[in-house]
Chains A and B, each alone.
Chain A
Amino acid sequence: MGAVGARVARQLLYLGPLDDLVVVDADPARAEAVAESIGEPARVAVAAAGEAEDGDVVVLAVPGSHVESASAALARGAHVVSVSDDLVAVQQLLGLDAAAQERGRHMVVGAGFSPGLSCVLAALAARSFERVEEVHVAKVGTGGPSCEHQQLQAATEDGMDWRDGAWESRRGGTGRELCWFPDPLRGVDCYSAALAEPALLLGAFPDATRITARAAGGRKAVLLSRLPKVRRDNPEGTLGALRVEVRGSQGPSHDDRVLGAVDRPAVAAGAVAAMAARWALDGRLTRTGASGLAGLVEPGPFLAALAERGVKVAVFEGGQHGPEVATAGRRS
């Protein structure tokens, strides 16, 4: 359990009454410390999936593949929320859709900052259009050492973009675009990487012709990460930001809408995962089965609830209308 997991546990207490809150970590001392800092009703156990019961929700916020734990929790009748941002793990979790539907359970995949908040922003932006044609996601920042490791790994692997009805592989660290994030991060170069957003967003926008995702860092970050470190890793990660651009049509006119957010990724991810878990418990998710948040929540109320927890989102506006807007803050 890293920077995100402890925050999920803490946030869950603020979102509604809980009969039981079980904290699990490979390091029992770490789990004990988190449970102690939270207080009642938090307690420590050996395996969350093994303790899950019918109607419970299991939040997976540990590094590595979540597939085995998710399958075990589903088999016991629990809802599952995963914060994994690993592309392969996300694809495997989405593959549990039929099993989750069969059991009438929710499997929320990619319920963190990116993916997670990024998917909800895409869903909100998509409300402006009758037909969504393109979705482009860019992100910067990491939520802690594990998140940073995963992001560096993703930067060395091929990204998968959805283009004209087929997956197109794009070499990691290529395709530099200058993406304009909300203040104070502003202009940051972003690159192709093995990111999970396209796989998650395609389920929500099956008619889109292009879905892409880029992340800051690229090969430069990978290269620098191999050099001796002057400073120790910040366990809380860095300041992060999202930029989600949705292009679509409303009647005969084509337009785009750009939404963004700035936050500490671990803080925002904790709030998003906890909110998803609460909504699963309360029966507020729109369907059962495995999906990203874009296909599971009403984006407006979900973001309004997150805003009450301090996670704010912004819209880019005031630029030119028409195709020029699409390039505002981006350089292809």
Chain B
Amino acid sequence: MIVKVRRGLLAVGIATLVAGVLRLRGATVEEPKGGGWRELTGPELR
């Protein structure tokens, strides 16, 4: 009985650890499909 409880706790602990790591790492970053950043210069700031 005690062995089963220990195994259960171990399984829950490992699952929590894996879930935590995956949650903290986040998802893969996908780049925007098109476009990009361009610096604004003089005439555009008037």
Given contacts A189-B26, A303-B45, contact A319 B35 (CB under 8 A): yes
Report the nearest B residue to A303, measured CB to CB.
Answer: B45
**Which of B30, B36, B39, B44 lies in contact with A318, CB distance below 8 A?**
B36
Cβ-closest chain A residue relative to B41: A307
CB contacts (< 8 Å) of B46 on chain A: these are: 300-301, 304
Residues of B within 8 Å of A187, CB to CB, are 29-31
Given contacts A300-B45, A304-B45, A304-B46, contact A316 B37 (CB under 8 A): yes
A317, B39: Cβ atoms under 8 Å?
no
**In contact, B39 and A313 (Cβ under 8 angstroms):** yes
Does chain B have a CB within 8 A of A178? Answer: yes
Residues from chain B with Cβ under 8 Å of A319 in the complex: 32-35
Q: B40 at interface (Cβ–Cβ under 8 A)?
A: yes
**Residue numbers in B under 8 Å from A300 (CB-CB):** 44-46
- Asked if B4 is at the interface (CB within 8 A of a chain A CB), the reply is no
Interface residues of B, dominant DSSP: loop
Contact with B along A176-188 (1 / 0, CB 8 A): 0010101100110
CB distance from B4 to the nearest CB of A (A): 32
Whether A307 pairs with B33 at a CB distance below 8 angstroms is no
**Chain B 1-39 interface 0/1 with A at a Cβ cutoff of 8 Å (1 = within):** 000000000000000000000011011011111111111
User: Given A300-B45, A300-B46, A315 and B31 touching (CB < 8 A)?
Assistant: no
User: Which residues does chain B contribute within 8 Å of A220, judged by CB atoms?
Assistant: 23-24, 26
| CB <8 Å contact, B29 and A318 | no
Chain A residues at the B interface, C-beta cutoff of 8 Å: 124, 178, 180, 182-183, 186-187, 189, 220, 223, 259-260, 300-301, 303-304, 307, 312-320, 324, 328-329, 331
**19 further interface pairs, Cβ-Cβ under 8 Å (given A259-B40, A315-B38, A318-B35):** A178-B27, A180-B32, A182-B37, A220-B26, A301-B46, A303-B40, A304-B42, A304-B46, A307-B42, A307-B45, A314-B39, A315-B37, A315-B40, A316-B36, A317-B36, A319-B32, A324-B33, A328-B32, A328-B35
What is B's interface to A at a CB cutoff of 8 Å? 23-24, 26-27, 29-40, 42, 44-46
